[in-house]
């Protein structure tokens, strides 16, 4: 499948532009990590882009991501892509995060959303954003309250990356596509 096919699938199932931008953000972070780790940039990007494509229609666990996994399987997506997407849901205990791609998706998902939330309240958006300012916002329980700080930390730990380094890396990945994110 091409990226154009993946974007078409996202658009078919998702009308919420904020959710589409979230998927673009996670895709960018995944592509950056794939390049860093010497992995398949297209495959990792695909995982990031498609990880929540079914969420708007089926937000209730375990429908998300299992309904999406069924659709991806029917369309012929690779098993490791589908598995990585399923593994980002903590409640699917039969899909532990095993591969580096699985771990990267989990690490990038919540953090990307949190960084975008941080950028939206800054006049300069992503430009010049530092890990320390993101960490400061993480301490404010009412800011982006739906984002699990524990998941952000667990994601970095599981990926084997120090949290400040992870935050800085993801900020840089998102800066590269800031216009696509409305930033």
Q: Helices then strands (H, E): number in the chain?
A: 9, 0
Cα angle 173, 177, 180; round to 5: 145
Q: Select from 14, 26, 13, 6 the least CA-distant residue to 180.
A: 26
Q: Which CATH number fits domain 3-181: 1.10.3470, 3.30.200, 3.30.70, 1.10.3210?
A: 1.10.3210
pTM confidence score = 0.97
Q: Among all chains, which residue has been given the structure tokens 């699985």?
A: 102
Q: Round to whole Å and give the CA distance between 6 and 127.
A: 29
Peptide bond into 19 cis (omega under 30): no
Determine the pLDDT at residue 1: 85
Summarised one tens digit per residue, pLDDT across range 1-48 is 899 999 999 999 999 999 999 999 999 999 999 999 999 999 999 999
Q: Which residues contact 93 (CB under 8 A, 6 or more apart)?
A: none
Determine the pLDDT at residue 50: 98
Q: Among all chains, which residue has been given the structure tokens 């991501």?
A: 65
**3-class DSSP assignment, residue 162:** coil
Q: Round to whole Å and give the CA distance between 37 and 100.
A: 9
Q: Where are the beta strands (DSSP E) in 24-151?
A: none
pLDDT tens, the chain, 183 aa long = 899 999 999 999 999 999 999 999 999 999 999 999 999 999 999 999 999 999 999 999 999 999 999 999 999 999 999 999 999 999 999 999 999 999 999 999 999 999 999 999 999 999 999 999 999 999 999 999 999 999 999 999 999 999 999 999 999 999 999 999 999
% of the chain with per-residue pLDDT over 90:
99
């Amino acid at each position: 499948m091409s990226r154009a096919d993946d974007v078409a699938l996202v658009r078919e199932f998702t009308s919420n532009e904020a959710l589409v931008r979230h998927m673009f953000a996670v895709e960018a972070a995944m592509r950056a990590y794939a390049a860093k780790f010497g992995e398949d940039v297209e495959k990792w990007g695909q995982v990031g882009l498609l990880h929540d494509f079914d969420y708007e229609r089926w937000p209730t666990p375990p429908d998300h991501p299992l309904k999406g996994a069924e659709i991806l399987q029917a369309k012929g997506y690779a098993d490791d892509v589908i598995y990585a997407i399923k593994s980002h849901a903590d409640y699917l205990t039969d899909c532990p995060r095993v591969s580096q791609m699985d771990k990267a998706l989990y690490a990038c998902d919540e953090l990307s959303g949190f960084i975008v939330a941080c950028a939206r309240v800054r006049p300069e958006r992503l430009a010049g954003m530092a890990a320390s300012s993101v960490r400061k916002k993480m301490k404010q329980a009412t800011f982006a309250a739906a984002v699990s700080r524990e998941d952000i930390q667990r994601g970095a730990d599981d990926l084997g990356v120090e949290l400040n380094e992870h935050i800085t890396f993801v900020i840089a990945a998102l800066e590269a596509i800031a216009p696509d994110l409305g930033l």
